[in-house]
Structure 1
Amino acid sequence: MSRAPKLVALAAAALLTVGISACSSNDDNGGGGGFETITIEHALGTTVINEKPERIATVNWANQEVPLALGVVPVGMAAANFGDDDGDGLLPWVDERLQELGGEPPVLFDETDGVDFEAVANTNPDVILAAYSGLTQEDYDTLSEIAPVVAFPETAWGTPWREMIQLNSQAMGMAAEGDELIASLETEIDAAVAKFPQLQGKSAMFLTHVDPSDLSEVSFYTTHDTRPMFFEDLTLTTPASIETASAETDKFSLTRSAEQVDGISDVDIIVTYGSDEIIAALKADPLLAQIPAVANNAIVSLPSTPLGTAANPTPLSISFVLNDYLTMLAQAADNAK
């Protein structure tokens, strides 16, 4: 998942949806019905959609999962660039859903070097969904020449999964269906979490990719990132140390010297990416080994596979990996003291 080097500093924008309705009860697709204009305000501008979109394109990470979850196959979407085991550009839950829905497969946009504007334009979309994204103002302006674009509401790469669904489904003229999807996922999460009572109240932090060859400093995701946000759904809490650090920035990650580890002594569980080598390196480091979660072996090390990818919750990945992720977290929680 590519990210912009720096987050665009933007004022918080309120989400406004104006009149999404269908006047004909038998007009499921909006054709010939009384579709009312949708206006959505977001961090990069205001998007107005005058007709129900039929051809949906998505850019950046995971936005395609909203239309897919709602039964709509996009005409084009970004190819997966992290956790794609077989290199086909599709994460397994996306591939599975596409097979279920059938129809014309979407064009896959190669975003290795950023948004492929020409490829997007060639799909002739009616709307471009990017509620979870790192679009720059320039990206947004260029895409807006192709079709109406829905960008992130406040912070680049910081849109919670519920709001991603709300924004993208509203832009499709399917707000009610989006709300139903959110409610369904919430019910599923609650039922799964109930099986792991040892998680409740444990504090957790998410380290970014750790370099075992240089542990002089560590980086962690702030509360502005969706991975730590997901902890709350799983009945975990955010350590006060991470809350305090996050309140002082709008960045999705921060870096601290290993000599400052006493500042994160309130962490019960650490989640990070990597293999057993990462855990061994953390435990062998004289400074980082002092972190309670490290000392207690309360560490979840996620592989660079679909499981690791899904620690960043998205509409289709939640169901696919939820139980496996909870099981790993519960094992760490059992070790926490």
Structure 2
Amino acid sequence: MPRASMLTALSAAAVLALGLTACSPDAPDEATESATTSDFTPIVIEHALGTTVIESKPERVATVNWANHEVPLALGIVPVGMAAANFGDDDSDGLLPWVEEKLEELDAETPVLFDETDGIDFEAVADTDPDVILAAYSGLTQEDYDTLSEIAPVVAYPETAWGTSWRDTITLNSEAMGMADEGEALVAELETEIADTLAYYPQLEGRSAMFLTHVDTTDLSQVSFYTAHDTRAMFFEDIGLTTPDSIATASAETDTFSLTQSAEQADAFSDVDIIVTYGGDELVTALEEDPLLSQMPAVANGAIVNLPSSNPLGTAANPTPLSISWVLDDYLALIAAAADASDASS
């Protein structure tokens, strides 16, 4: 074949191949992909452990520590890996019911579940090959953060370990996925839902509350409580409750999420109307029978909300994007009953 004819034939074949590729439903649209990539503005997020830069829109999202996976799920994104539930999981499958429901809604398989019983499983996280690791609500150490950052960009908490509000958790994690607007809309939706539910419990307005934690019924010589930097205490104000001066004063002197105080100083909590805690009936009995702690007005009045640790309701005090709709009404009903008990004893 003459060279000119050969070139003509090759050119025609190339044009035909190009046309077939363009028409093929399975062929990648390179122009679209290029435009999508070029339209993405790199994201810079500053947090307590450093500054994270996300150069391109993440396609593979991994999360570590409690509840961070609920942000992408709420926005329709299934993580490639996430921490297994280690509290309130009544069937021991590593998933809380609202997460199971969302995965079903998205027609998605369960992602890889990271076992964090002994800390973050860095190898398992790396095996999921993530583009970004979400940990806006977490207790990451600097070492944890540095190790994870070798795998992918990491978004850590903005100020205090375990002290990121549900709003900021959504805002930071959604921003890291390039979905800031969607995250803002989710926050607004949940705020409306909380306000609508709270309208049924007017007795909560203005009551003061504290959260007792890690109570050892065999040794009540000390009282541990969550400070105003913890999400459980923060959520009190979302549901009409107030932070008592005793907790606010103690919180002002630290940036940690919990503190411990001698039971001999329990009278400092005389400004607490309602106590929320984890445990069973034996815990309430121990508090009521203790000569010092029984003098706290909330204990004396029976104004104690005792959340179980063995089922999903136990997570109610720590709101997350998908759990709010599930447990909010039950949680408010328990606190309202404590408020009523306080009124009856006054």
What is the match of residue 225 of structure 1?
A: 230
Aligned to 2:39, the other structure's residue is in SS state coil
What is the match of residue 167 of structure 1?
A: 172
Q: How many residues align?
A: 310
What is the match of residue 17 of structure 2?
A: none
Contact 1:79 1:89 in 2 (8 A): yes
In the aligned structure 2, how far is the partner of 1:79 from the partner of 1:152? 20
What is the match of residue 93 of structure 1?
A: 98
Asked if 1:42 corresponds to 2:28, the answer is no
Asked if 1:306 corresponds to 2:312, the answer is yes
In the aligned structure 2, how far is the partner of 1:145 from the partner of 1:32? 23
Give the C-alpha shift of residue 93 in structure 1.
1.0
Q: Percent identity?
A: 75
Contact 1:40 1:48 in 2 (8 A): yes
Give the C-alpha shift of residue 33 in structure 1.
5.6
Contact 2:37 2:57 in 1 (8 A): no
In the aligned structure 2, how far is the partner of 1:52 from the partner of 1:254? 40
Give the C-alpha shift of residue 138 in structure 1.
1.0
Contact 1:223 1:246 in 2 (8 A): yes
Aligned to 2:282, the other structure's residue is in SS state helix
Contact 2:37 2:56 in 1 (8 A): no
Aligned to 1:218, the other structure's residue is in SS state strand
TM-score by length of 1: 0.90
Query: 1:9-35 CA deviation, whole Å, 9 max, x = no partner?
Result: xxxxxxxxxxxxxxxxxx89x845611
Q: Which 4+ runs in 1 deviate beyond 2 A?
A: 30-33
Contact 1:209 1:274 in 2 (8 A): no
Aligned to 1:316, the other structure's residue is in SS state coil
Query: 1:123-180 CA deviation, whole Å, 9 max, x = no partner?
Result: 1111000000111111111111111110111111100110000000000000000000
* The 10-residue stretch of structure 1 (208-217 or 63-72) with the greater mean CA deviation from structure 2: 208-217
In the aligned structure 2, how far is the partner of 1:100 from the partner of 1:289? 47
Matches within 5 A, 1:1-337: 31-32=36-37, 34-304=39-309, 305-336=311-342, 337=346
Query: 1:205-226 CA deviation, whole Å, 9 max, x = no partner?
Result: 0000322221111111100110
Aligned to 1:254, the other structure's residue is in SS state strand
Higher helix share: 2
Which consecutive residues of structure 1, in runs of 5 or more, have no partner in the other structure? 1-26
In the aligned structure 2, how far is the partner of 1:205 from the partner of 1:52? 41
Give the C-alpha shift of residue 229 in structure 1.
0.3
What is the match of residue 13 of structure 1?
A: none
What is the match of residue 10 of structure 1?
A: none
Q: Which amino acid aligns with 1:181?
A: L
In the aligned structure 2, how far is the partner of 1:284 from the partner of 1:40? 50
Q: Which amino acid aligns with 1:300?
A: V
Which consecutive residues of structure 2, in runs of 5 or more, have no partner in the other structure? 1-31
TM-score by length of 2: 0.87
Contact 1:57 1:127 in 2 (8 A): yes
Contact 1:267 1:292 in 2 (8 A): yes
* The 10-residue stretch of structure 1 (97-106 or 154-163) with the greater mean CA deviation from structure 2: 97-106
In the aligned structure 2, how far is the partner of 1:318 from the partner of 1:103? 22
Q: Which amino acid aligns with 2:341?
A: N
Query: 1:207-260 CA deviation, whole Å, 9 max, x = no partner?
Result: 003222211111111001100000000000011011001111112111111111
In the aligned structure 2, how far is the partner of 1:106 from the partner of 1:122? 12
In the aligned structure 2, how far is the partner of 1:315 from the partner of 1:205? 23
* The 10-residue stretch of structure 1 (278-287 or 162-171) with the greater mean CA deviation from structure 2: 278-287
Give the C-alpha shift of residue 335 in structure 1.
1.4
Q: Which amino acid aligns with 2:252?
A: A
Give the C-alpha shift of residue 104 in structure 1.
3.7
